[in-house]
Amino acid sequence: MSEKLSFVTPTANSPWGTYLSQVDRVVPYLGPLARWVETLKRPKRALIVDVPIEMDDGTIAHFEGYRVQHNMSRGPGKGGVRFHPDVTLEEVMALSAWMTIKTAAVNLPYGGAKGGIRVDPKKLSLQELEKVTRRYTSEIGIIIGPHTDIPAPDVNTNAQIMAWMMDTYSMNVGGTATGVVTGKPLHLGGSLGRVKATGRGVFVTGREAARRLGLDLRGARIAVQGFGNVGSVAAELFAEAGAKIVAVQDHTGTIVNDKGLDLAQLVPISRTDGVVGFKAGGDIVPNEDFWDIACDILIPAALEGQLTADRAKKTTAKLVLEGANGPTVPQADDILAERGVLVVPDVICNAGGVTVSYFEWVQDFSSFFWDEDEINVRLDRIMMNALNQIWDTADKHKITLRTATYAVACERILMARQERGLYP
């Protein structure tokens, strides 16, 4: 007899609606723990803050900021902060919930949280960006902390922004609290391997999925949507393994090259001019054509809701690697499953980032830092163990990898919930 949430009206394909339908699909596999499932259908805590700053031209601007702690049954909240003009509370709720599932799927001792500011950072000067970051951090400072909730980078945020967040929080509490955020610069308690970790995890899980499908990576054709920290690193690793990156899309457009794009040239150009800046190395095509490109592997590594039902019907990919959070809507998921397209879901596929965030947090507390080899070996081991367990669960129940990941994760979360019991 739980009441519906009043502050969100999810639709079938909206991020929170997508998440709820993913949870509904796992209920039959939860056994008696299903009694606790409602706990996953609402955030533990959601904070909306006003972020006012003085702009360079002397005017005062206000931005809306959020921090949502979805679940903390297994440990402190963990999850990134995104700066994007379209961020909403509903989106941040879904992203925080996916963090809960993700941290449990790879068995990190965390819950799930996420933050965001409704702002276009490309329109801010560096000084304005710093002000927005610091004011936002100060406002959410009442609920974050090294043992309560640990932010990290996400879309349009980076190590510099994490440094400002760490400094602002530290100034407010008095001291230097490196463990309050992860994804920091190296000399401020950051970890080797963190920048590439998410893309590396996409590669490690993708390589294993390809092996199980009997798909040879040498010569495999790959299309990548989103060419930031996740998409570009994954593309480079697949290209090193012999694959051809035949299409890349980012916010500037879509570039294709049937023989494979030259990443050594494309990556640096994309950092300043976007992928369309590399006109010399491929053909620019309309964005919708990206979904028709003949490819073996599709890597959506941008935003939510990109893989719609129509696009799922036309993709030629045999394997989808979800570098982004929530890129596939539920109806598209069903179409892909019917068509025999294997999907490695976000909550395991892109878990490499938060896994190395965990390593960073552990290193900060022990004040002892590991070399990059040690980090990568541990990352690969955690990702492979988690994926193999999820695969066994999928085979046992004859369910998709997504539902299997939810089954493994939700059992851990709800078991912790049950063992802790309700307070009071």
- We find the least distance from the C-beta atom of residue 103 to ligand GLU, in angstroms, to be 8
- Told to check if 353 binds ligand GLU by CB under 6 A, we report yes
* Closer CB to ligand GLU, 17 or 77, in the complex: 77
- Taking Cα atoms as reference points, which of 255, 226, 260, 224 lies closest to residue 240? 260
Q: Min. distance of Cβ 99 from ligand GLU in angstroms? A: 6
Listed residue (123, 79, 72) closest to 99, CA to CA:
79
Q: How far apart are CA 372 and CA 296, in angstroms?
A: 31
Q: Is 193 in the site for ligand GLU (CB under 6 A)?
A: no
Q: Establish if 79 lies at the interface with ligand GLU (CB under 6 A).
A: yes
Considering CB under 6 A, how many residues would be counted as binding ligand GLU?
11
Closest CA to 337 of 323, 350, 351, 320: 320
Q: For tokens 């697949």, what's the residue?
A: 238
Q: Which is nearer to ligand GLU, 357 or 393 (CB)?
A: 357
Neighbours of 41 (CB within 10 A): 15
78 lies in the site for ligand GLU, by CB under 6 A: yes
Note if the bond before 424 is cis, omega within 30 degrees: yes
Spatial distance between the Cα atoms of 331 and 13, rounded to a whole number of angstroms:
8
Q: Is 26 left (phi over 0), alpha (psi -120 to 50) or beta?
A: alpha
Each residue 271-310 as x (binds ligand GLU by CB under 6 A) or -, in order, gives ----------------------------------------
Packing angle between helix 401-420 and helix 15-26, nearest 10 degrees? Answer: 80
- Shortest Å distance, C-beta 91 to ligand GLU: 12
122 is catalytic: no
Among 8, 266, 354, 390, binds ligand GLU (CB under 6 A): 354
CA contacts within 13 A on the Cβ side of 187: 0
CB of 361: closest distance to ligand GLU in angstroms? 9
Give me the catalytic one of 78, 102, 114, 131.
Answer: 114
- H or E, element range at 172: helix 159-173
78: enclosing H helix or E strand: strand 77-84
* Of 183 and 282, CB closest to ligand GLU: 183
Which residue number places its CB atom closest to ligand GLU? Answer: 80
Contact call for residue 182 and ligand GLU (CB under 6 A): yes
150-169 residues in contact with ligand GLU (CB under 6 A) are 152, 154
Q: Taking CB under 6 A as the rule, does residue 325 contact ligand GLU?
A: yes
Residue 80 interacting with ligand GLU (CB under 6 A): yes
Q: Which of the residues are catalytic?
A: 114
Residues that bind ligand GLU (CB under 6 A): 78-80, 152, 154, 182, 325, 350, 353-354, 357
